[in-house]
Structure 1
Amino acid sequence: MATMLEGRRQTQPRSSPSGRETSLWSSGFGMKLEAITPFLGKYRPFVGRCCQTCTPKSWESLFHRSITDLGFCSVILVKEENTRFRGWLVRRLCYFLWSLEQHIPLCQDAPQKIEESTGVQNLLSGRVPGGAGEGQAPDLVKKEVQRILGHIQASPRPFLVRLFSWALLRFLNCLFLNVQLHKGQMKMVQKAAQAGSPLVLLSTHKTLLDGILLPFMLLSQGLGVLRVAWDSRACSPALRVLLRKLGGLFLPPEANLSLDSSEGLLARAVVQAVIEQLLVSGQPLLIFLEELPESPGPRLSALGQAWLGFVVQAVQVGIVPDALLVPVAVTYDLVPDALCDIYHASAPLGLWTGALAVLRSLWSHWGCSRRICSRVHLAQPFSLQEYIVSARSCWGGRQTLEQLLQPIVLGQCTAVPDTEKEQEWTPITGPLLALKEEDQLLVRRLSCHVLSASVGSAAVMSTAIMATLLLFKHQKGVFLSQLLGEFSWLTEEILLRGFDVGFSGQLRSLLKHSLSLLRAHVALLHIRQGDLLVVPRPGPGLTQLARLSAELLPVFLSEAVGACAVRGLLAGRVPPQGPWELQGILLLSQNELYRQILLLMHLLPQDLLLLKPCQSSYCYCQEVLDRLIQCGLLVAEETPGSRSACDTGRQRLSRKLLWKPSGDFTDSDSDDFEEAEGRYFRLSQQSHCPDFFLFLCRLLSPLLKAFAQAAAFLHQGQLPDTESGYTEQLFQFLQATAQEEGIFECADPKLAISAIWTFRDLGVLQQMPSPAGPRLHLSPTFASRENQQRLEQFIRQFICS
């Protein structure tokens, strides 16, 4: 160790005086410390198995047995070997030759087949209300159908697709170091496509680039032209024309009209016919189930659910016997800034705006040599028909958050109702309203199920790990030598929990790459001992680190919920800053832990938890408890004066069980054990537990602190006000509090919106109609300062500073 430190002193470059920032991004860290860790490149868990409860047949049959034996490939790495030709000239024209060799199937007579579909013909013949028989000439209705069809789609132009693929390949190679794809996952999807059922890819949405990157990736893998469902509000008319010729689909504005509107009826019939024709022809379809992170709205996309509703309806009426759904996740080291800024513009994205954003991205990344990495994950396909049949049996009664949580917050009762929470933040669009109420519920729960699978299968990037360590463990700074070890530790913890990481290689190179991408939010300082001090820059940059660290939350979400629940259980018994040894003396019963976990689960937004609809709250409580035991934070403890848990003597069995005839299995044996007190636990006294417990609690602290500050803001806010106006008020309050207390990770407009919607579900805020539109009012129950303080105290019990 002394020799290693001496080597680091000798290789340290000269810089400014001690304590001042230094620039080491091009010359390395000034250290010759090689850390070879056992996890990198040697163990990768398989992620993305479909639900065994809802789709057991797909879970067994659509799985590629040798998936773990296949490696990765970079879809943007095109060389001479990827073409049929060899030679000096081919090496310089390989991108162009590659684009010429891509197979692009032709779509012929698609408009004619759409006009001949059953739904459109019923309108043309007047057999349904709103058709030609309602006073409209058939020729006029037919022209309207053609106009709507032209707004929805156009036949892909092979030459334009090849030219755009060549230009995109150039752009991606300038912007990205690599775009990784697991070859085993691709084989699994290709094998599923050969079964004959059409593929419907349901993806997360990190940036506008996803809608271009995913079609390029599938085209390069031989699956043809991917049809992408775009949001027409985000694109200008000129850009919509270009995207339609590249395979894009756009929902016409008339489709969102009321059910009694003839224009809305005709538009929905044409869209349904387009989806049916795509599924029959076997063309793959891409739907984004997640809104963009920058959008001021819910996580689950209303437009994505509308497109998925058309697919579900096509399968239910028997147009196609089945469709295979593929959850997709795309992750980036760092989303390009220029591609994020164009989404914030008030006007729709145009051709020139997009071109300027591309040039800005190329210039910024070429000038500072900061190329990013990306990872595309394809989860296991599953049968939509199988899900429709089996998922309905998992539906049960639900209650609103106001019914579940408000009496407990106000101290009117202590028991948590034995029911699930009903929380729906996504508005119902016109296409979904055209479905039966049962089918609407099916589409919503299917969307939650697939989005949960997509987020759970997303790879964790190195920047997310780095941001989490700096924000929640070392906000005051950490030595680089210590950061190397903790990066390795956190990566192993991620892999052990069944999640994958989107990187590999030597640890020192990974840290250099991550810190170079985060250079705007991180400062490197020299110290006399020859090491480097990594310090997060105080200020609004912590908000960006919090957004990056949120990508790590699904990995530790169960443990974080459990740790905050334990913190709430101990809040009234020991001082918040009391020693760990004092907290470990107390016994925690299983029933108390279940209650605290349920309370926190109901408080947290459904968009954060992303629980599968087939999983009950009590099953999740048991999963949380098991995770806390597995990670070593909780230790089972026998109750004082009770028999050992392993004691199965006959004296502990009831008379009914003793005289039960052999072969009678009508009752479970565990029901007859005399367990009056239940199970008890203590906090583990291992040396690593206090730091790990605090780390887990801090993962949820940005959201919980924002909720607590929103509760404190109730008596200061100006109500009544519109939702957007009150959101702006709360956001300004969060920013002012961040300046005073330094908690910039809470100053996020998304957290402000989440707090307002949660308080609206909880009955704290009420939405009332007015001539100027709906306005938020403070409910009479929480008009008193006493109840507002109770709400704030209820939230703060889960926060561990």
Structure 2
Amino acid sequence: MVQERNDGMNKDIVLPSIQNKRPALSWESKIKKKLKTVTPCLGKFRPVVGQCCHQCTPDSLRKKLGPCSSLGFHNLLSINETQTRYRGWLVRRVCCALFVSGCKVYGSPVSNRLERVCQSNRVKEALTAVHKASEDGGSQGQLDCLSPLLPLINTCISSGLLRFVAWTMLKMFPSIFGNVQVNLNHLSALHKATQEGSLLVYLYVRQSSLDCALIPLVLFCHHLRVPYTVCPLHINSSFLRSILQKVGVLLPPSALTEQDAAMDQLYSPVMTSLVRELLHEGQAISVGVSAASGIGGQWLAHFRQFIKEGSVPDVSLVPVGISYDCVPETDIQVGLGSALQWLRSLLWRRPGGSVRIHFAQPFSLKEMCESGRCRIDEWLPLQDLLLPVILHNRTSSVFGQRRMSWLLPSSHYAREPEQPSHPDRNLSTAIILHLIFSATSCTAVMSTALMSSLLLYRHYMGVRTSVLCRDVGWLTEELLFRNKDVGFGGSLVEVVHYSLSVLAPHLVMAATPSRKDPLIFPRPCLAAILHLSLQAQIVTHTFILEAVGACSVSAMLCEVAFSGVSSRVRSDGVEGEEVKGDMEFDVVLCQSELTERALQLCHLLPPGFMPPCQSSQSFALDAVDSLVRCGILIMEEIPRDIPVCDFWKKDGALTWTTSDDPYHSDSDCEEQDLRSYKISQPGQCPEMLFFLCSMLAGHLRALCWTTMALDLVDTPLAEAEFVAQIHSHLCDTANKKKQHYESCSEEAAHTAVRTLIDLGVLSEERQKGSVFLGVSPLFQLSENRQKVHRFISQYLYN
């Protein structure tokens, strides 16, 4: 933990008051009046985030970062005359234009780029394949096929247009965001890497289309090289496409979506060769990765391939964490008319919260690949890890990592073997997982995310304002204790009022004259719960160890309850079956069995939650230990006939072994020390246990509902249509139950289908260039599907 300097940069982290931007609602005045009685203040201590992995890239971690003691934050939208070389009344009116004109713009040469791209072996092979059956197979005919891709190849950065677009965004973003805070901790490292000539690649986890604009704008305002951005936007307007391509945005052809472009026979090799030529020119690249589908991760495999073949010496990867108070809704298919309509609507809307951007410390991709420190051993299919436990009631799990080969789709241009078990593919997949985890780890927790997790996972039935304030302070301390930065500051009164104001459309706030303490609970509808669930994902990522451990404890307690073994419940002053107050569960949980449950559950987690450089066994052990640190579990003391410090056996003699025996160690003379745990008795323990279990309930429930939906879906179906039907079934099930809407998002449906494919429940079959999904023969039996459903549902605490 480090302390922030209370300088001019840090003054912007205090949340702006929103009472002057719109009339106060009736419930706001009551909440403000109630909050005035609560006086705790959030401290000024923040953890340092975004450092390199000490296991995979220790050499990059040891590099001197330069002076970074300020640890300040800069509001990108707060531009005044002090950031220019001039002073005066007129300067204050045009300070934004003066600031933009003074920012440094790096050159972007495009001379001879088309010729260099066409000389690539990838492009030559693709052109030959396209014209193999064509009558006109000459060089001129091959170049004619590249004509739709010429604007892409000639993408450049115009200094004048870049300054104008930056000025426009600085004037437009105040209508979208209250402020855009940038963590200055690792910017000095980026400046140093730029001066040394390192090739920087910025990687972020996709949340909104504005991600592509925020990162270049931040780098431009801090005099760093603006990267070429691989953008998934499907833009129909040729005018907008030409403007974006003049500021370094690499767009797919207008007739193709991102998925279609990735499988196009000509676009993919051209794009790969273009990125390589951009790196040869010394340009920076910005890439977004989808954690659910892995789209975008293939570029990391290309970067590793460039290093392996020697065309690029090395690449410095920079994970970027972007946090939104409210993720802006943007249309993926953008036309000129819709863009103008969207800009016009900005004039009549209030800012939708703050943004916090963290740039992590750059690290060497070559070091990660060639050092062998990145874990790629024991990668097994999910069905090999879990099917013996599910179908055959195997008591012990198979040790290994879950292979997620779908994060790196096979393609003819990648020049990598298509076998999912190939070490090169496993290494590329491990790097993708590592980057997703790193980018998510350096993402700050915003006040709305903290509030959403409390309302969704702890107080779903409603909570009083005073209790909510207490929990906000508690959860903030827990986040900082886990080395997680928060994207807010100021007093508790400001934080609670601000987050409730931003989340107001998704909440129900009951404030009556007779009730001094307003009641707040989530709005029971699909849109509201999905919004809160999306905001709360970053909190789940922070508490993933505790959540896995809590679900494992819940699974064992349910097994005890269904087995008919009674548990003793103690309550002072209560007789009979009526129980109030603290409960004493007279159940002893074996450490080995609890670790097995945690190990099996961690294989079902979506990508990005578990550190890829940590083994599953170590993660499961840490999950159990985290519950001890939380106070949920306590170590059970086992009575011994002989003290632990007594090294002698009961018979008084030691058992010696030969020193060259590889199957024994010096500790063989000691008995195996098996640990066991009991549920602790603090009053908040059951509430804390359920709070942690609820974090994974949405994902696990989506898996259960998807397994049950296999009886209702006629297979085989195309993958996109199959996922759409599953998503529709999840929504219908939630609507019938009038609850659990967090389990029916598109991402939950896609993740559940992919998990069942890896588990072997669904089989993939390629027909006519498309992937069709159907129920595998082993799971045509409803009995086997029921076993899968029971295995997953055991981790649902309710």
Out of 294, 305, 308, the position equivalent to 2:297 is 305
1:194-241 alpha-carbon deviations (Å, 9 max, x no partner):
232111111111110111111011000001322111126466544332
- Aligned-residue offset at 1:62: 5.0
Compared CA separation, residues 356 and 794, structure 1 to 2 (3 A)? same
Separation of aligned partners in 2, 1:123 and 1:433: 9
Residue 443 and residue 233 in structure 1: after superposition, are their counterparts in 2 closer, same or farther (change >3 A)? farther
Give the alignment partner of residue 705 of structure 1, picking from 682, 701, 708: 701
> CA 1:121–1:472 in 2, change beyond 3 Å: closer, same or farther?
closer
Q: 3-state SS of the aligned residue for 2:33?
A: coil
How big is the shift at 1:555? 0.6
Structure 1 residue 471: Cα displacement: 1.3
Residue number in structure 2 paired with 1:58? 60
Q: Residues 512 and 164 from structure 1, CA distance in 2 versus in 1: closer, same or farther, beyond 3 angstroms?
A: same
Kept in 2, the 8 Å contact 1:653–1:673? The answer is no
Change over 3 Å in CA distance of 1:148–1:690 after alignment to 2: same
Residues 247-276 of structure 1: per-residue CA shift (max 9 Å, x gap): 1123567999999x9x957x6665444333
Residue 255 of structure 1 contacts residue 430 of structure 1 at CA under 8 Å; is this kept in 2?
A: no
- Summarize the Cα distance change of 1:554–1:439 in structure 2 as closer, same or farther, 3 Å threshold: same
Alignment of 1:373-384 (within 5 A): 373-384=354-365
Q: Deviations over 1:384-428 (max 9, x none)?
A: 111111247732233222222223222353221122222333362
* Cα deviation, residue 772, structure 1: 10
Distance 1:145 1:754, change over 3 A: closer
Distance 2:453 2:121 in 1: 57
Residues of 1 paired with 2:130 and 2:712: CA distance?
Answer: 55
Q: Note closer, same or farther for the CA distance 1:326–1:392 as it changes in structure 2 (3 Å cut).
A: same
The 3-state SS of whatever aligns with 1:283 is: coil
Distance change (3 Å), C-alpha of 1:524 and 1:784: same
Structure 1 residue 326 corresponds to structure 2 residue 318: yes
- State the match for 1:295 in structure 2: none
Question: Is the aligned partner of 1:727 residue 2:729?
Answer: no
Q: What letter matches 2:521 in structure 1?
A: V
Q: Which residue of 1 aligns with 2:160?
A: 159
Structure 1 pair 26/82, CA: closer, same or farther in 2 (3 Å)?
farther
Compared CA separation, residues 128 and 73, structure 1 to 2 (3 A)? closer
Selected match of 2:475 from 477, 484, 490: 490
The equivalent of 1:48 in structure 2 is 50
Identity %: 30
Q: Which residue of structure 2 lines up, in the alignment, with residue 755 of structure 1? A: 752
Is 1:629 equivalent to 2:631 in the alignment? no
Residue aligning to 1:413: 394
Query: Letter of the aligned partner of 1:595 in structure 2?
Result: E
Partner of 1:222: 223
Matches within 5 A, 1:398-547: 398-426=379-407, 428=409, 430=411, 433-436=414-417, 438-527=423-512, 528-540=514-526, 541-547=528-534
Q: Give the aligned partner of residue 316 of structure 1.
A: 308
**Residue 289 in 1 paired to residue 289 in 2?**
yes
Matches within 5 A, 1:568-579: 568-574=555-561
Does residue 785 (structure 1) correspond to residue 782 (structure 2)? The answer is: yes
Q: Which residue type is aligned with residue 37 of structure 1? A: P
Q: Return the offset for 1:678.
A: 1.8
Q: Is the 8 Å Cα contact of residues 240 and 336 (structure 2) preserved in structure 1?
A: yes
Partner of 1:558: 545
Is the partner of 1:184 in helix, strand or coil?
coil
Instruction: Output the aligned Cα RMSD.
Output: 3.6
Shift in CA distance, 187/715, structure 1 to aligned 2, threshold 3 Å: same
Distance change in 2, residues 1:92/1:482 (3 Å): same
The SS at the match of 1:776 is strand
Tell me if the contact between 1:62 and 1:192 (Cα under 8 Å) persists in the aligned partners.
no
Deviation at 1:364, TM superposition (A): 2.5
Partners of 1:125 and 1:132 within 8 A in 2: no
Q: Which stretches in structure 2 are left out of the alignment for 5+ residues?
A: 1-23, 571-581
The answer as to whether partners of 1:421 and 1:602 remain within 8 angstroms in 2 is yes
Give the alignment partner of residue 377 of structure 2, picking from 396, 405, 418. 396
Structure 1 gaps of 5+ residues are 1-20, 292-297
Deviation at 1:571, TM superposition (A): 1.5
Q: Which secondary structure does the structure 2 equivalent of 1:766 belong to? A: strand
Q: Distance in 2 between matches of 1:703 and 1:254?
A: 28
Contact 1:50 1:381 in 2 (8 A): yes
CA distance in 2, matches of 1:773, 1:116: 33
Say whether the 8 Å CA contact 2:205–2:440 is kept in structure 1.
yes
State the match for 1:746 in structure 2: 743
| 2:722 pairs with 1:737 | no
The answer on whether the counterparts of 2:32 and 2:497 sit within 8 Å (CA) in structure 1 is yes
Equivalent positions of 1:61-460 (< 5 A) are: 61-63=63-65, 67=68, 69-108=70-109, 110-112=110-112, 115-116=115-116, 120=119, 137-138=138-139, 148-231=149-232, 233=234, 236-250=237-251, 264=265, 270-290=270-290, 298-301=292-295, 304-337=296-329, 339=330, 342-343=331-332, 348-365=333-350, 370-391=351-372, 394-426=375-407, 428=409, 430=411, 433-436=414-417, 438-460=423-445
Can you list the C-alpha shifts for 1:541-584, whole angstroms capped at 9, x where unaligned?
22322222122111101110011011112211136997697664
Equivalent residue letter for 1:408: V
Write the distance in 1 (CA, Å) between the matches of 2:312 and 2:531.
Answer: 45
State how far apart, in whole Å, the 2-side matches of 1:363 and 1:668 are: 75
2:237 & 2:407 partners in 1: Cα distance? 25
Q: Secondary structure at the match of 1:476?
A: coil
For 1:7, the equivalent position in structure 2 comes to: none
Aligned counterparts of 2:676 and 2:302: Cα–Cα separation in 1:
50
Query: For each residue in 1:39-68, what CA deviation from the matched residue of structure 2 results, as whole angstroms up to 9, or x when unmatched?
Result: x2421111122111111101111545x545
Q: Please state how far the C-alpha of 1:592 moved relative to its aligned partner.
A: 0.5
| AA matched with 1:553 | T
Q: Is the 8 A contact 2:232 2:258 kept in 1?
A: no
Q: 2:108 is paired with a residue of what secondary structure?
A: coil
Structure 2 matches for 1:598-677, cutoff 5 A?
598-605=599-606, 607=607, 609-612=609-612, 614-641=613-640, 643-644=642-643, 646-651=644-649, 671-676=667-672
Contact 1:120–1:273, Cα closer than 8 Å, also in 2: no
Q: How far does residue 78 in structure 1 lie from its aligned partner after superposition? A: 0.7
Residue 140 of structure 1, CA deviation? 5.5
TM-score where L is the length of structure 2: 0.85
Secondary structure of the structure 2 residue equivalent to 1:737: helix
- Letter in structure 1 aligned against 2:634: V
Contact 1:127 1:133 in 2 (8 A): no
Separation in 2, partners of 1:678, 1:636: 11
Cα shift at 1:284: 1.9
What is the rounded CA distance, in whole Å, between the counterparts of 1:552 and 1:798 in structure 2?
19
Cα distance 1:290–1:126, how it changes in 2: closer, same or farther (>3 A)?
Answer: closer
Q: Tell me how far apart the structure 2 counterparts of residues 734 and 257 of structure 1 sit (CA, whole Å).
A: 27
TM-score normalised by L of structure 1: 0.85
Mapped to 2, the partners of 1:569 and 1:60 lie a distance apart of 44
User: CA distance change for structure 1 residues 165 and 28 in 2, over 3 Å: closer, same or farther?
Assistant: farther
Distance 1:136 1:570 in 2: 70
Structure-1 separation of matches of 2:317 and 2:442: 15
The corresponding residue for 1:799 is 796
Alignment check: 8 A CA contact 1:231 1:250 kept = yes
Which whole-Å CA distance do the structure 2 matches of 1:763 and 1:127 have between them?
Answer: 34
Partners of 2:114 and 2:154 within 8 A in 1: no
Please say if 1:30 is aligned against 2:26.
no
Q: CA deviation at 1:727?
A: 3.4
1:494–1:555 Cα contact (<8 Å) kept: yes
